[in-house]
Amino acid sequence: MKQTAWADLPNAKHIDRILADLKRNPDRWAATRNATRNAARTDAWTAARTAAWTAARTAARDDAWNAAWNAARTDARNAAASGAILALIAYDDCAYLLDEKPEHVQMLALLGNEKAILLYSACIALQKEII
């Protein structure tokens, strides 16, 4: 089996999980993104994404990001997945949020937690709880 560019990262299995679920359930990911989008969240998401991107580049993980992004972008419904993948590449300690109750992740996101902001949509999609 071919090794991915992110295989050596602590959250590799979670990135693989997201990409596999995105491929199996693209409509669910699109619905999740649409259900969680609003103006305030878009601003917060953009800020969180910028911070995570800076962290990922600082950690010299941009090769992993580029490879994972290319894997996700084959589907037009990847916006929810891309934020989660970026968070998982940038922050080694955030994967637990994917298994938390979506309302708990949403609360952290509303409080400005950048990891939660980026992982909220993925948390919902992976748990099949479209709001």
Taking only the tens place, the pLDDT of each residue in 81-129 is: 888 988 999 899 999 999 999 999 999 998 989 999 999 989 999 987 5
Instruction: Give the mean model confidence (pLDDT) for residues 60-68.
Output: 72
SS3 sequence of 65-117: HHHHHHHHCCCCCCHHHHHHHHHHHHCCCCHHHHHCCHHHHHHHHHCCCHHHH
Instruction: Classify the C-alpha dihedral 72-28-87-12 as positive or negative.
Output: negative
> Measuring CA to CA, which residue among 103, 127, 131, 130 is closest to residue 21?
127
Q: CA 115, 121, 127 angle in degrees (round to 5)?
A: 110
Contact 89, 65 (CB under 8 A): yes
Mean pLDDT over 40-47 rounds to 68
Tokens of 92: 């080694």
Confidence band, pLDDT 50/70/90 cuts, at residue 13: very high
Distance CA(100)–CA(104), nearest Å, equals 7
